[in-house]
Amino acid sequence: MHTDIVLAVALGLVLALVNTLWGMRTARRAMRHAAPAFMKIFFVGMGIRMLVLLGAVVGALLLLPVHAPVFVGTLVGAYILGLVAEVIVLQYKGS
C-alpha cells in the first residue's frame, strides 16, 4: 500500500475519532444544564468542532501528502459511524 493512502486512512480515522470524543464530552457537559443552556452549550460546541475539523481537513489536504479521495471517504465514513455511536451513548446516558 502506498504511504499517501495509509496516511489518508489513518488521518481520516483519527480526525473522526477526536471529533466524536469531543462531541460526547460536550454533550455530557451540556446534559448537566436545563434545556436553554443545554442547547447553547451543545450548539456552540458543535460549531467550534466543525470549524476545527474544517481547518484540519483543509490543512491536511493542502500540507500533507494524502490521497484526497481516500482521506475524505474515510473521514466521512468514520464521521457517520461516530455520530451513530454518539447518539447511542448519549441516549443511554440521558435515560
In this structure, are residues 20 and 85 in contact, taking their beta carbons and an 8 Å threshold? yes
DSSP letter, residue 70: H
In this structure, are residues 22 and 49 in contact, taking their beta carbons and an 8 Å threshold? yes
Check pLDDT > 80 for residue 95. no
The Cα-based distances of 59 to 33, 42, 65 in angstroms read 35, 25, 11
The whole-number pLDDT of residue 67 equals: 95
Output the pTM of the full model.
0.89
The domain segmentation of the chain, as residue ranges, is 3-94
| Tens digits of residue pLDDT in 10-67 | 999 999 999 999 999 998 898 899 989 989 998 999 999 999 999 999 999 999 999 9
- Going by pLDDT thresholds of 50, 70 and 90, the confidence category of residue 89 is confident
